[in-house]
Amino acid sequence: MAATTETFESTSPADGETIGVFPKQGVEDVDRAVARAKEAYARWRLVPAPKRGEILYRFARVLEEEKDALTELMTHEMGKVRAEAGGDVQEAIDITYYMAGEGRRLFGHTTPSELPDKWNMSVRTPVGVVGAITPWNFPIAIPSWKLIPALVCGNTVVLKPATDTPALAERFVGLLHEAGIPEDVVQIVHGGGSTVGDRMARHPDIRVITLTGSRETGVKVLEAGAETLKHVHLELGGKNAIIVMDDADLDLAVDGIVWSAFGTSGQRCTAASRVIAHERAYDALQKKLVERAEAMRLGPGWEADTDVGPVINKSALEKIDSYAKIGQDEGAKLLTGGEIATDGDLDKGFFYRPTVFADVDAQMRIAQEEIFGPVTAIIKVRDLDEAINVSNGIKYGLSSSIFTRDVNAAFRAMRDLEAGITYVNAGTIGAEVHLPFGGTKDTGNGHREAGQAALDVFTEWKSIYVDYSGKLQRAQIDD
């Protein structure tokens, strides 16, 4: 029960359909949820980790049963095309099966002691109440990346989902409860970042904040969290590049660019909003890419032949369009797109045509700033050294890619690209749940999601010494 009677609507970005009405909650609701989560933590942390894992295995099976329904809801509420929406749910299934297995591992370490008759070991312990702030672009996958490892480690969670996708968040949390997670262990609070999000970041009883969002929001959360010295995990922006060398398979490269630049309508932190093309591949690559972009069909995500769905809302649409104008004003050559799509029924939603710029200088704003839409910029380079320098010449460092048949060039790129993720002969998207996900530089603050690295966000190390010598042994004391 929300502290106020205020509500907000969730509507489809494809046609304005009302998805549902949700409580507009505030500070008092956060405080109440945190108090319940803190009380529940005292019990949940004592549930044996293998038993916590067993509940999560049940949740994975529930997700499998509900995959079609969640996919359908996502095409309406978030706007993803059906195949991508199904992939979003599948990521949640995959991470849940993976992390449920950690309930029987959660490995620590044992080491020999420097003293006789003494035993040394380290173990992982849960942290407490976790505050999770999640975005709308992966409304099932990203909550799963945060909540599932937090839960298997023995923490409780208060979730603030994006106000653009509250129905999906409600369903996700509801399914967790159906699978056997106690209701006080995972709670949801709807509301804006300036109220709900800010209170979570400052609340003294929330010990971990995990956020996926913009750099600007990340800085605010980090500053707010510093007041109570809480752990802050930030997954922020990207300005990712695909390098296409002159020996690359151009058709394969174009497949990778189209999928990376225009998948999810470009609304991914790993989207390829830059293409760095060797001068001998530049012209042919442009031609092939424009042909593919212009052949893509825009439409609602639930229609089987849709290639590109809507962007999330009107402000996103206007931001993308403003960057298309900025690119032209800067002197870049607009090859295709650069306009809001309004023909037919598209004017009922927020659709932007796949956009390709050429003759882009690496320092132009469209080559430096995150646009978060179906826009990519082609930059010409002379050689691999220049390509790597251009790829690295941004403030972000999330994902990177190179298309080449030269194994030496591939290994140099793997070593020298400043990014948390590097793909060879694939686009910039497609991370797997058993490897760490995250970036360098302004993409975050050094933590990772998924894989074993996720456990470090939601646990603390405890070192334990057991002395069975029967006498006081003083380490590092000279006799």
- Inside any domain, residue 474: no
Residue 475 — very low, low, confident or very high, per pLDDT cuts 50/70/90? confident
Residues belonging to the active site: 235, 269
- Inside any domain, residue 219: yes
Give yes or no: residues 165 and 266 share one domain. Answer: no
CATH code for position 149? 3.40.605.10
Sign of CA dihedral 115, 119, 122, 126: negative
Phi/psi for 164 (5° steps) reads: -80, -20
Give yes or no: residues 209 and 296 share one domain. Answer: no
Residue 356 and residue 328 in contact, taking contact as beta carbons nearer than 8 Å: no
Q: What is the pLDDT of residues 102-124, one digit of tens each?
A: 999 999 999 999 999 999 999 99
- Count CB-CB contacts under 10 A for residue 123: 15
pTM: 0.96
* Residue closest to 143 by CA, chosen among 188, 181, 178: 188
Q: What is the pLDDT of residues 148-204, one digit of tens each?
A: 999 999 999 999 999 999 999 999 999 999 999 999 999 999 999 999 999 999 999
Q: Scanning the structure block, which residue is given the tokens 């042909």? A: 291
Q: What's residue 188's pLDDT?
A: 98
Q: CA dist 323 to 230, 326, 334, Å?
A: 36, 5, 12
Q: What's residue 3's pLDDT?
A: 72
Structural domain for 317, as ranges: 240-424
- Inside any domain, residue 432: no
CATH code for position 380? 3.40.309.10
Give yes or no: residues 244 and 219 share one domain. Answer: no
> In the chain, what percentage of residues exceed pLDDT 90?
98
- Inside any domain, residue 152: yes
Q: What is the pLDDT of residues 9-28, one digit of tens each?
A: 999 999 999 999 999 999 99
β 355-358/375-381 pair status = parallel
pLDDT at 432 over 90: yes
Average confidence (pLDDT) over 34-59: 98
Give yes or no: residues 92 and 164 share one domain. Answer: yes
Give yes or no: residues 199 and 264 share one domain. Answer: no
Give yes or no: residues 99 and 135 share one domain. Answer: yes
Burial (0-12, 13-18, 19+ Cβ within 10 Å), 151? buried
Give yes or no: residues 313 and 179 share one domain. Answer: no
**Can you tell me the distance from the alpha carbon of 83 to that of 71, in angstroms, rounded to the nearest whole number?**
8
Q: What's residue 477's pLDDT?
A: 78
Phi/psi for 235 (5° steps) reads: -120, 105
Burial (0-12, 13-18, 19+ Cβ within 10 Å), 323? buried
- Inside any domain, residue 337: yes
Give yes or no: residues 159 and 297 share one domain. Answer: no
Give yes or no: residues 277 and 326 share one domain. Answer: yes
Q: What is the pLDDT of residues 257-269, one digit of tens each?
A: 999 999 999 999 9
pLDDT at 222 over 80: yes
Give yes or no: residues 127 and 178 share one domain. Answer: yes
- Inside any domain, residue 438: no
Give yes or no: residues 175 and 302 share one domain. Answer: no
Domains in the chain: how many in total?
A: 2
- Inside any domain, residue 479: no
- 3-state SS, 210-272, equals EEECCHHHHHHHHHHHHCCCCEEEEECCCCEEEEECCCCCHHHHHHHHHHHHHHHHHCCCCCE
Sequence-distant (6+) residues with CB within 8 A of 112 are 120
* Residue closest to 153 by CA, chosen among 444, 434, 431, 452: 452
* Sheet with 118-126, side-by-side order of all strands: 109-112, 118-126, 459-467
pLDDT at 402 over 80: yes
pLDDT at 1 over 80: no
- Inside any domain, residue 429: no
Give yes or no: residues 104 and 228 share one domain. Answer: yes
